[in-house]
Amino acid sequence: MALSSPVRARRARRSVAAVLVTALLAPLLPLLDAGAGAASSSAICGRTATPSKAELSSTTGITKTSVNVGNVSIISGPVPGLFQGAPYGAEAYFAYLNAKGGVNGRKINISALDDGFSGTQNQALTKQIAANDFAMVGSFSLFDNYGCSVLAQNPAVPDVSVSLDATTNALPNVFSPQPVAQGAPLAGYLYLKKKYPSSVTHVAALVSNVQTALAQFAGQKAAMQHAGYKFVYVREVSPFESNFTTDVVNMRNAGVKFVLMTAGDWNVFAALSAAMAKQNFHPQVVMSTGPIYDPHYIPGAGTSAVNGQWLIQDLALYLGQDSKSVPAVGTFNTWLQKVHPGAKADLFTVFGWASAQLFAQALKAAGPNPTRGSVLAQLHKITSFSASGLVAPANPAKKIPPNCVLFAKISNGQFGRVDPTPKSGWDCSQPYYSIHGVMPKVNP
């Protein structure tokens, strides 16, 4: 039955947004094209001011019993609820913390604000938080480059959020539990190279033809080539494509032994996996760094089509598979449901939770009489952070991304950890490689 035009339009909007989002996964990018007319961050952010003593000693948003923080995320717009998970995650962590007494006797209250897919609205809301709240926590928007100018002119205001914009991320008052870089951890690629040496010189990838995916792939390709991989088949695909039979034929003819499923959406890779199974094409390795870790992927492709595929990522199996071995996963899911019953955890929920935990750690270390300056000072001391194992260790203070990963495979229709990672830890044996070269390792 043919879909009506409105249905096709809604699906198109969802698919474009999904590609924009999925392309941010592994790794996060400094080159995000926010779309919808967003200006460059360098043109918006401006020069960073030097904080005054009065600004550093500010206790705006703090009372004897509470700490008020704000969150600016895309909640409404072309795709309603696009990054709703970000405030949900932060709210859930603070509810969990408040149930245990808060921080130094204070409960943390968070206001979730919606920039409505608007750069000017993001800027206005960031200004509102800087004036009225103690800090920004757990925000996630494609337009945080607009808020950058406010943070640059209010350098004592802590912003503990995952930022996709390189200039915003570089500000001295911005701290991310998963800092931005364009590249990839080497551990997974070097392990698979050793395990399947003949496969790495015959690699194929389908790359969604949106800026985020293309930029991500450039960094990942650089890391893989550094590790000795060679690509023999690469094609840019539309996020609306669903027939990949020709690609499978071309991959077979090119002698492909390794298929990379990273720079795109799970819908594309589910269709590709189904096409490979239908054509009886079975490469030695099919591997993803995140996009296939979605509850819809396995049923979308078919269990038999995806068994044996590798997932190598810098996040715990937060959908629940790690609940028994990583207590933070169970806590995360339990409190998400307590605060927002029926909510589905996603990457942005994890980012919101991890950002809230990072902020709370600094707030606690600042002591019973925290100021914006004392919290910033504590954030500058946190050189290893993993949200209790929910995310791979990163260095927020030095803005160094995770080099640690976990290895998982799909078996009998389920994701599960496999060697060489332990049941509750990470493989940290190799560094992170960016387009600028090898980055320092982060100590777990």
The range of the structural domain enclosing residue 341 comes to 41-178+325-389
Identify the residue with better confidence: 181 or 278: 278
* CATH number for the domain that contains residue 197: 3.40.50.2300
Q: What percent of the chain has pLDDT over 90?
A: 80
Mean pLDDT taken over the chain: 90
162 and 208 part of one domain: no
331 and 215, same domain (yes or no): no
pLDDT tens profile 211-261: 767 888 899 999 999 999 999 999 999 878 999 999 999 999 999 999 999
Residue 44 pLDDT: 66
**173 and 245 part of one domain:** no
Are residue 370 and residue 235 in the same domain, yes or no? no
Residues 364 and 424 in one domain: no
Q: How many whole angstroms separate alpha carbon 21 and alpha carbon 167?
A: 19
Question: Is 411 found in the same domain as 346?
Answer: no
Q: Tell me, yes or no, whether 21 lies in a domain.
A: no
| Same domain? 52 vs 172 | yes
b/e 422-441 (16+ beta carbons within 10 angstroms → b): eebbbbbebbbbbbeeebeb
Overall domain count for the chain: 2
Residue 29 belongs to some domain of the structure: no
pLDDT of residue 214: 84
The string of DSSP letters for 178-214 reads S---SEEESHHHHHHHHHSTTTTTSEEEEEESSHHHH
Q: Are residues 348 and 409 both part of a single domain?
A: no
Q: Is residue 72 part of a domain?
A: yes
Residues in the chain: 444
Query: Is-contact 185 430, C-beta < 8 A?
Result: yes
Q: How far apart are CA 204 and CA 415, in angstroms?
A: 23
Same domain, 300 and 411: yes
Cis peptide before 27 (omega within 30 of 0): yes
What is the per-residue pLDDT across 31-67, written as a single tens digit (0 to 9) for each? 233 333 334 444 568 788 899 999 999 999 999 999 9
The two three-digit tokens of residue 417, written as one number: 């950890």
Q: Are residues 282 and 297 in the same domain?
A: yes
- List C-alpha distances in Å: 389 to 102, 121, 175, 327, 392: 21, 34, 18, 8, 7
Say whether both 247 and 348 belong to one domain: no
| Window from 44-48, 260-264, 383-387 with minimum mean pLDDT | 44-48
283 and 423 share a domain?
yes
What predicted TM-score, i.e. pTM, was given to this entire model? 0.89
For residues 375 and 158, the answer to whether their CB atoms sit within 8 Å is yes
Count CA atoms within 13 Å of residue 47 on its CB side. Answer: 2
Local structure of 66: helix, strand or coil: strand
